[in-house]
Amino acid sequence: MPLKESEAIILRTYPLREADLLVTFFSRVEGKVHAVARSAKKSKRRFSGALEPLTYVRAYYEDRERRELARLDSCDVLNSPLAREVTYSRAVALAHVAELLDELLPDREANDAAFRLSLSVLEELKEPPFWMPITYFELWMTRLMGYLPDLSECIVCGRELNGRPAFFHALTDGLLCPDDKRLASSEISAESRTLAAQMLRAPAENFASSGWTKSRAADLRKFLLQTLQRHIEKKLVTAGMLEKMG
Ligand SMILES: [Zn+2]
């Protein structure tokens, strides 16, 4: 089979047998691909530093007849997250982006918007604080996967929420007005809803990261993670790590 070439973002590696690694990467050309990297643990020449999660690479790989896993031949590093200091909070932020891509993207389905989003958010994940790019990425991935409801109206009665308090609930898809909110609903502030609307209209680079504290838009992130986790029907490992992050 012919060797394929694509820009890609490494999502995850997993030791297979002996020196082989199972690699999941998000290719620009055909979306999420699972591949075996033969002798990757030994071959510094073919993979040197290229298989760290969220490394932006040019990947060379081939499909194998009647095999589910492709074969990853080699990778050239285009941009590595390790070019900058990896503090604990930066590692958590990067792991969160990798986990969302890995859990949300279907196999072998190109998604250029998600690819461009990932590259732009990685650019913003260089210096702390990381809450702006994390929020931006969660919001846009929710939108791109088709899970984001209209944030301007109550999902039950359809009334406009603008200028009124709005609520969300772990078992409900959209936002709720005060009359329709359920027991144990959380409130999402008007400020966070306005921010979400702005983020859906402008690139990440338009939003300043500095000065963002963890509390800013925390209600929006809680709503987005609840929405995503309900759709994938599992708890995100990095969601708990983010909660503990300062
Ligand atoms: Zn309502």
Q: What is the pLDDT of residues 74-132, one digit of tens each?
A: 999 999 998 888 899 999 999 999 999 999 999 999 999 999 999 999 999 999 999 99
CATH 2.40.50.140 fits 4-83, yes or no: yes
Q: Name the DSSP letter for residue 175.
A: B
* CA of residue 176 to ligand 1 center, whole Å: 5
* CA of residue 227 to ligand 1 center, whole Å: 19
pLDDT at 218: 97
The fold adopted by the segment(s) 88-244 is de novo design (two linked rop proteins) (1.20.1440)
* CA of residue 161 to ligand 1 center, whole Å: 8
pLDDT at 214: 94
pLDDT at 32: 98
Sign of CA dihedral 157, 215, 246, 186: negative
* CA of residue 160 to ligand 1 center, whole Å: 8
Which helix or strand (DSSP H or E) is residue 61 part of? strand 56-62
pLDDT at 45: 73
pLDDT at 231: 95
Q: Which residue has the higher pLDDT, 105 or 16?
A: 105
Neighbour-count burial for 77-107, b at 16+ CB within 10 Å, e otherwise = beeebeeeeeeebbebbbbbbbbbbebbbee
Residue spans per domain, the chain: 4-83, 88-244
Cα dist. 95→21, 39, 169, 171, 236 in Å? Answer: 19, 25, 26, 26, 11
pLDDT at 82: 87
> Hey, is 191 helix, strand or coil?
helix
pLDDT above 80 (res 133): yes
Instruction: Give the predicted TM-score (pTM) of the model.
Output: 0.95
**Distance in angstroms (rounded) separating the CA atoms of residues 119 and 102:** 15
Identity of residue 246: G
* CA of residue 216 to ligand 1 center, whole Å: 26
pLDDT above 80 (res 158): yes
* CA of residue 189 to ligand 1 center, whole Å: 16
* CA of residue 148 to ligand 1 center, whole Å: 18
Alpha-helical runs (H) found in the chain: 44-47, 88-104, 112-124, 131-144, 190-199, 218-232, 237-244
Residues lining ion ligand 1 (Cβ < 5 A) are 154, 156-157, 177, 180
pLDDT at 95: 96
pLDDT above 90 (res 18): no
* CA of residue 23 to ligand 1 center, whole Å: 46
> For 25-56, how does the pLDDT look when each residue is reduced to its tens digit (9 = 90+)?
999 999 999 999 998 877 767 887 889 999 99
Structure tokens that stand for 26 in this block: 């998000």
Burial label, 156 (beta-carbon count in 10 A; 0-12, 13-18, 19+): middle
